[in-house]
Chain A
């Protein structure tokens, strides 16, 4: 068996098999890396502003979500979920019901987040994530007075 493929003039020919091996290895590397890559996303909010209007403005029911310095989340003064629970399942379920009720009443669901100044920012993001899951976009963010 010939170990190498030689052209008639004695030079070594192009070896396709090792090239395929290398391409396979590189492809496997990128396939694994593609699953582990971090993607930067965003949660959007709008600051409340003043608008000029000639007609009467309707006032809607507002839901208050408070975040304590220890990370305890309260919805309308009722505590929900543990302070270390990042998924906030109770809050998500309640917010989805609030959104459903608001949609049935043809009103926007309005939520205000009031965070303790010393509460971690990640907790605010947990709450914003729960609001995004419930598809509530009218969100205001505030810091409570010390």
Chain B
């Protein structure tokens, strides 16, 4: 009977194709998972700014994501929140307030979760800072003090 490694009659180990296929499939699944898990599901019209020192995104908390778009031809910024586009930041107050109340309610039902609601601003890299500041002003108005700016690791 052949040993654990398999062998020919001469005593040399035989090339085993089955374990090689197993290993290949495991490596394949690994690369498939890390590639597809990190594909960005964001507003395609926004080019996020690049930051090398930014930290990993915290997905464990309730959050609202506001996209700040910039139209260079019209020189106009718009704000997108929950599939609605708003021309002025002040129009975000009501939907953001509702999202905050819902997020805090859901967080309270889950023990151990950080109940603090946060705002994630996904601003286009070319948008004037004024419009990002306007979104932050709305956050301050409805008592959201934790604000994160989305960035990407490279172009």
Residue positions of A touching B, CB distance < 8 A: 16, 19-20, 23-24, 26-27, 30-31, 33-34, 37-47, 49, 67, 86, 115-126, 128-130, 132-133, 141-143
Contacts and interface: CB of A to CB of B under 8 A. Distances in A.
Contacts, number: 157
Given A117-B130, A125-B151, A143-B133, A41 B28 contact: no
B74 interface: no
Given A42-B150, A121-B129, 19 more contacts: A23-B21, A23-B24, A27-B28, A30-B28, A31-B31, A38-B38, A40-B42, A40-B150, A40-B151, A86-B50, A120-B125, A121-B132, A122-B126, A125-B151, A128-B149, A132-B53, A133-B52, A141-B133, A141-B136
B115 interface: no
Nearest to B48: A40
Given A40-B150, A46-B146, A47-B136, A24 B24 contact: yes
Contact of B51 (A31, A43, A143): A43
* Chain A to chain B: the 6 pairs with minimum beta-carbon distance, closest first: A30-B31, A41-B54, A117-B130, A122-B125, A132-B53, A125-B49
A40 B24 contact: no
Nearest to A28: B31
Interface string B106-127: 0000000000000010011111
A125 B21 contact: no
A67 B129 contact: yes
